[in-house]
Amino acid sequence: MRKIALAAGLLVAAALHAQEYPAKPVSMIAPFPPGGVADIVGRPLAAAMEKTLKQPVLVVNRPGAGGAVGMGVAARAAPDGYTILIALSSISIFPVSDPLNGRPAPYQLADFAPIALVTADPTILVVGADSPYKTVQDFVASAKAYPGKINYSSSGIYGTLHVAMEMFANAAGITLFHVPYQGGGPAAAALLGHQVHALASGPGPVAGQIKAGKMRALAGWGDKRLASMPELPTFKELGYKDVEFYIWSGVFAPAATPPAVQARLRDAVRAAVADPAFKASMEKAESPIAYLDAPQFRDFLARDAARLRLAVEKIGKVDTK
């Protein structure tokens, strides 16, 4: 009887905690510097979530190691709903890539509770507007003529932009030189600064530069053409059948977060993606909303993680010295 009473007491305490949640501001970790997809989506999403949660939702940039640092911090956070994560598809990569390189994984996917998928951007290949590469065919021909001489920037080793580009390089039979940065924003700045020749990016962070005539898009990793760039061919159209990649963004909480608190977060994200201000922000950023609630997001994540595992294993061990 005493054990039953104790268990009942714990359930009541948990229920009361959930009813009170949130009683203070919530931190949303963005594991990249400002300027990338996680930041572009996370900030307006946090502002919209505040309307449901009735508390500030503060975006905290925790960059490093292609996103692994911030995601590891979120995985180890107290499971009380006060630290959540806005992550990209690279969340599936590091549990595979670090052991591949003889390092302990910074976290496991099982350390997280998926809350909701928010956006899904097909990656696009961009070069400088003054680049000699007008088409993918130009780019591939030059890469074959000068193996390892054409370089590209990314958000970090094994990050989404790295994996996308190596997926293309593998299909095209070319060797490129990888220059990792600490996020998508710095990677795009490197292309604008003529420090690299190319970049794989979500459309949002580079759309303004393309419209301003500072970057040129060559192709997309999606299964169909972007509505905002209907003239841009897909790699599949160009004959690269297995080259498909999306930089999606999703919200996560530590796995042990109480179900009732997860439900509150799910409600907040569901309302946020329908909020006119958030919709306007995503339309301006040309980042399509692709909302999935937790059960569907969990299935989506499992499929995407399996595909990325194969891509990372093809890249193999990366010498960082």
pLDDT, tens digit (0-9, with 9 covering 90-100), for 158-181 = 888 898 999 999 999 999 999 999
Tell whether 205 is covered by a domain.
Answer: yes
Q: How far is CA 268 from CA 24, 27, 47, 88, 289, in A?
A: 15, 14, 11, 19, 15
pLDDT at 19: 64
The DSSP output letter for 153 is E
In a domain, 269, yes or no: yes
Q: What is the pLDDT of residue 12?
A: 44
Boundaries of domain holding 128: 124-220
Residues 75 and 161 in one domain: no
**11 and 114 housed in the same domain:** yes
Give the pLDDT confidence score for residue 171 in this predicted structure.
93
- Whether residue 60 is contained in a domain is answered as yes
Give the rounded distance of the alpha carbon of 91 from its chain centre: 7
Q: What is the pLDDT along the chain (321 residues), one digit of tens a residue?
A: 544 544 444 444 455 455 699 999 999 999 988 888 899 999 999 999 999 999 999 999 999 888 899 999 999 999 999 999 999 998 999 999 989 888 999 999 999 999 999 999 889 999 999 999 999 999 999 999 999 999 999 988 888 889 899 999 999 999 999 999 988 889 999 999 999 999 999 888 898 999 999 999 999 999 899 888 999 999 999 999 888 888 899 999 999 999 999 999 999 999 999 999 999 999 988 888 999 999 999 999 999 999 888 888 888 887 655
Let me know if residue 129 belongs to a domain: yes
The reply to whether 206 and 60 lie within a common domain is no
Rounded to 5 degrees, φ, ψ at 127 are -130, 170
Residues 220, 200: Cα–Cα separation, whole Å: 9
Q: How far apart are CA 314 and CA 258, in angstroms?
A: 38
Instruction: Give yes or no: residues 102 and 206 share one domain.
Output: no
| Confidence (pLDDT) at 310 | 85
Q: Which residue blocks in the chain are alpha helix, DSSP H?
A: 2-20, 37-53, 68-75, 94-100, 136-145, 160-172, 184-192, 203-211, 259-273, 276-285, 294-315
Model pLDDT, residue 319: 64
For residue 165, give the CATH number of its domain. 3.40.190.10
Q: How many domains does the chain have?
A: 2
Name the residue with tokens 């990793």. Answer: 221
Per the DSSP assignment, residues forming a β-bridge with 201 are 124
Same-domain pairing of 176 and 259: no
Identify whether residues 71 and 132 lie together within a single domain.
no
The pLDDT assigned to 146 comes to 97
- 231 within some domain: no
State the Cα–Cα distance between residues 139 and 217, nearest whole angstrom.
Answer: 12
Q: Do residues 22 and 117 share a domain? A: yes
Q: Say whether both 147 and 88 belong to one domain.
A: no
> Do 104 and 130 have their domain in common?
no
- 207 and 256, same domain (yes or no): no
By three-state DSSP, how is residue 114 classified? strand
Three-state DSSP at 125 gives: strand
Give the closest residue to 186 by CA, choosing from 34, 13, 25.
34
> Is 194 domain-assigned?
yes
How much is the pLDDT for 242? Answer: 81
Q: Domain containing 287 — which CATH number?
A: 3.40.190.150
Residues 6 and 117 in one domain: yes
Please tell me the distance from the alpha carbon of residue 99 to that of residue 293, in angstroms, as a whole number: 31
Cross-sheet strand order for the sheet of 151-154: 177-180, 151-154, 198-201, 124-128, 215-220
Whether residue 294 is found in the same domain as residue 146: no
- The pLDDT of residue 101 is 86
Q: Which residue type does 128 have?
A: G
pLDDT at site 66: 80
Residue 222 to residue 179: CA distance in whole angstroms: 24
Residue 155 gets which letter from DSSP? S
Residue 284 covered by a domain: yes
Does 107 fall in a domain? yes
